[in-house]
Amino acid sequence: MNSQSKGLVIYSSLSGNTKKLAEYISENIRQECSLADIKDNPEIDDVPWIIAGFWVDKGTADKEFLHFLSTLEHKKICLIGTLGAYPDSDHAKDVIKRMKEEVEKGNTYLGCYLCQGKISPKLTKTFENFPEGHPHFMDDARRKRHEEAAKHPDENDLLQGLAYCKDKLSGL
């Protein structure tokens, strides 16, 4: 690993869940790194690795994150992200598969850690207004998932995310 330059932890976060995860990892990774909001366009020319955080928007990473990713070349990238769905769901697995492909368009993919993040009350309300039979109708399973998401990211998610990133960076 290039010991001259610092790694970068960068995040895109609408309501703070992904920011919380990224902050925790940057503070505890025990590697020289800086933390940046994607909106601040940080310097990325010389970074030996990037931990890059996104929130899931309609089955993929949010648009700002996808744009940022499309500007990167020849970087070693470990993805982190938060979503409303369960991290072991098919939905989450699809997100990971898609995002791996996105990274591999011009960069090295180190892995992707996902955990749940609380869903905005506005979005929950939208689901509650869908009629029975609608694909997003607020049935018991969906309500339970929204209630569970409201508790995340929790301490365990942060610890797991940190351990995941440490492991992925250890081989560099």
User: In Å, how far from its chain's centre is CA 31?
Assistant: 20
Residue 101 or 148: which CB sits closer to ligand FMN? Answer: 148
And the tokens for 57? 């928007």
**Per-position x/- string for 14-43, each x denoting binding to ligand FMN as judged by CB under 6 A, each - no binding:** xxxxxx------------------------
User: How many Cα atoms sit within 13 Å of 95 on the Cβ side?
Assistant: 29
Relative to beta strand 50-57, strand 76-83 is parallel
Give the interface segment with ligand FMN, choosing from 9-17, 35-43, 128-136, 163-171 (CB under 6 A).
Answer: 9-17
At residue 141's C-alpha, the angle toward residues 132 and 22, to 5°, is 120
Q: Which stretch binds ligand FMN (CB under 6 A): 28-36, 43-51, 57-65, 161-169?
A: 57-65
Give the interface segment with ligand FMN, choosing from 34-42, 55-63, 131-139, 157-165 (CB under 6 A). Answer: 55-63
Amino acid occupying residue 122? K
Q: Can you read off the two tokens belonging to residue 114?
A: 């996902």
Which residues bind to ligand FMN, rule: CB under 6 A?
13-19, 55-59, 82-85, 91, 117-120, 123
